[in-house]
Amino acid sequence: MREITYAEALREGLRQAMTADPSVFAIGEDIGVYGGAFGVTAGLLNEFGAERIIDTPISEAGIAGACVGAALTGMRPVGEIQFMDFVTLTMEQIVLQAAKVRFMFGGKASVPMVLRTPSGSGTGAAAQHSESLENWFVHVPGLKVVMPSSAYDAKGLLLAAIDDNNPVIFVEHKLLYKTKGHVPEEMYRVPLSQTNVVREGKHVTVVATSVMVSRAVQAAEELAKEGIELEVIDPRTLKPLDDAPIIESVKKTGRALVVHEAVEMGGFGGEIVARIAGSEAFDYLEAPVRRLAGLDIPIPYNRELEYHTVPQVENIVREARKLARGEY
């Protein structure tokens, strides 16, 4: 199977969706001639024209509002917010309107829109261009939240998100755009709410999201040399969450470590811990469930400080080793 980058997989998925369905269009800042802040929409303007690849003024509220309005009238918009930090400017349109319309109209109206946005640190973009705010949206009834960690999942989840009749927040980590993976050329969907067991193991369950999935796999490879086998699990869709594979894994290993880049306080890891504690897996635990997350500070500009602000491979190795050895 051929290998393409995460960004190329997203572009291919969007191209195929637009080719198959004339109601699908893309809208955002610099997505046309420039090809998007991270190159995801490069070349699509020449293929589909300015009526379906729409460059907008610098107004995130305008982008989100246009998506909501278009979706209500039968279109399937894919909006792009250049950096996740600026979803702060879309909250009225997304939280007060898109998330609630279907419920308020008794199912007679729907908002089939996707809002794509790059998240996370690692590019030296500093405090206002490096945030991980996915759990803000997980907290809102009516929204779906997706965080693909591989090129394969990026395409499959994007196509599934475009098909969905609900608003979907589609979170892409900046460091993943250049990573490569096996991706089929044909259209395929990865169902929203289907947790993936990325690597099987028997000593510690590691539940990781986005860029932390590949770091957890690297940590697992290092610890395997010591005879410690990590089971790495990627929820892929944070909401709705398929927690059954997580529960079954913890029952098998008796130990769990949850890893994400967002700060620990109010982060998605707390939900995973609560699901484990409230399930039959609790009776199988041989150690406290641990969380490994970003520090409770804005992301620094300094590269060395930035590196130490969020979990790295060595941090996952250290925490998982402690769990496996019963050092908590």
What CATH number should be reported for the domain holding residue 145? Answer: 3.40.50.970
- Quick one: 34 and 158 in the same domain? yes
Separation CA 166–CA 114 (nearest Å): 8
User: 182, 208, 237 — which closes off a domain?
Assistant: 182
Report pLDDT for 187.
98
**Does the predicted model carry a pTM greater than 0.95?**
yes
Mean pLDDT, rounded, for 164-180: 98
Tell me whether residue 190 is in a domain: no
Tell me whether residue 58 is in a domain: yes
Structural element, H or E, at residue 93? none
- Quick one: 173 and 229 in the same domain? no
Tell me whether residue 188 is in a domain: no
Among 89, 153, 119, residue whose Cα is nearest residue 310: 119
Encoded amino acid at 163, one letter: D
Report pLDDT for 99.
98
Q: With contact defined as beta carbons under 8 Å apart, do 16 and 187 qualify?
A: yes
Residue 163 has pLDDT above 90, yes or no: yes
Encoded amino acid at 292, one letter: L
User: 154, 182, 210 — which closes off a domain?
Assistant: 182
Mean pLDDT, rounded, for 284-305: 97
Residue ranges making up the domain that contains 260: 196-325
Q: With contact defined as beta carbons under 8 Å apart, do 162 and 24 qualify?
A: yes
Q: Which two tokens stand for residue 252?
A: 């098998």
- Quick one: 103 and 142 in the same domain? yes
Mean pLDDT, rounded, for 311-325: 98
Report pLDDT for 1.
82
Tell me whether residue 291 is in a domain: yes
Dump pLDDT digits (tens) for 202-254: 999 999 999 999 999 999 999 999 999 999 999 999 999 999 999 999 999 99
- Quick one: 213 and 293 in the same domain? yes
Tell me whether residue 99 is in a domain: yes
Q: What is the pairing mode between strands 114-119 and 168-173?
A: parallel
- Quick one: 152 and 285 in the same domain? no
pLDDT band at 168 (very low <50, low <70, confident <90, very high): very high
Q: Is 218 exposed, middle or buried (0-12, 13-18, 19+ CB in 10 A)?
A: middle
Q: How many CB atoms lie within 10 A of CB 62?
A: 17
- Quick one: 171 and 258 in the same domain? no
Tally of structural domains, the chain: 2
Dump pLDDT digits (tens) for 5-61: 999 999 999 999 999 999 999 999 999 999 999 999 999 999 999 999 999 999 999
What CATH number should be reported for the domain holding residue 315? Answer: 3.40.50.920
User: SS3 of 273, please?
Assistant: helix
User: 182, 215, 250 — which closes off a domain?
Assistant: 182
Tell me whether residue 53 is in a domain: yes
- Quick one: 146 and 216 in the same domain? no
- Quick one: 285 and 315 in the same domain? yes
Dump pLDDT digits (tens) for 130-156: 999 999 999 999 999 999 999 999 999
Residue 275 has pLDDT above 90, yes or no: yes
DSSP state of 298: P
Q: Which of 8, 60, 80, 319 is catalytic?
A: 60
Tell me whether residue 189 is in a domain: no
- Quick one: 177 and 54 in the same domain? yes
Report pLDDT for 295.
98
User: SS3 of 248, please?
Assistant: helix
- Quick one: 160 and 38 in the same domain? yes
What is the DSSP secondary-structure string of 68-90? HHHHHTT-EEEEE-SSGGGGGGG
User: SS3 of 123, please?
Assistant: coil
Among 266, 72, 67, 30, residue whose Cα is nearest residue 169: 67
Length of the chain as a residue count: 328
- Quick one: 313 and 272 in the same domain? yes
Tell me whether residue 296 is in a domain: yes
- Quick one: 14 and 141 in the same domain? yes
Report pLDDT for 328.
80
What is the DSSP secondary-structure string of 20-67? H-TTEEEEETT-SSS--TTSTTTTHHHHH-TTTEEE--S-HHHHHHHH
Q: Which two tokens stand for residue 35?
A: 């090809």
Mean pLDDT, rounded, for 299-305: 97
Q: Which of 12, 29, 129, 319 is catalytic?
A: 129
Structural element, H or E, at residue 159? helix 151-163
Whether 60 sits among the annotated catalytic residues: the reply is: yes
Dump pLDDT digits (tens) for 67-105: 999 999 999 999 999 999 999 999 999 999 999 999 999
Report pLDDT for 251.
98
